[in-house]
Amino acid sequence: MEGPIEFDVLGYVEPNKQVEVCKLLEKNSDKSRFSVRKEVLSSVKENKLVSIAVGLGWNEVQSLVQNTPIGFISLKIVESTYWVSKEMSYCDSHSLYFSSSKNCPVCTKWYVNTNSDKQKVKVL
């Protein structure tokens, strides 16, 4: 059986905040400067989501959503390792995209609440 669900946070980049977003992602990820800038530019040009943080517990997600990083708009919460798509199910109560083969992990209380026990939560 699969363990409790973790979450990823995705967001759209505000066009006039690309520099701030690049700095944040460069500082908090293992990606190269070129890779980050290419991803941010593509996000703005093609209106694509950028990964902000991965492997979060529900408490960290709530904190991140309440304190949206500068330069991001319209955040999306998604079950870890998935991406927002038409095939995903959506929970209106928790604004959460999750695997269509399951019920909402927050409604069913099958989720990681906090990752403070883990060594590192990777913010991209």
What residues does each domain of the chain span?
Answer: 7-98
Give, for all 124 residues of the chain, the pLDDT tens digit. Answer: 578 999 999 999 999 999 999 999 998 888 899 999 999 999 999 999 999 988 999 999 999 999 999 999 999 999 998 988 888 999 999 999 999 778 999 999 999 998 764 433 444 4
pTM, entire model: 0.86
CA distance 25 to 37: 9
Residue 10 is classified by DSSP as: E
Q: How far apart are CA 79 and CA 105, in angstroms?
A: 8
Residues 6+ apart with CB under 8 A from 73: 11, 12, 13, 14
d(CA 105, CA 80): 11
3-state secondary structure of 77: strand
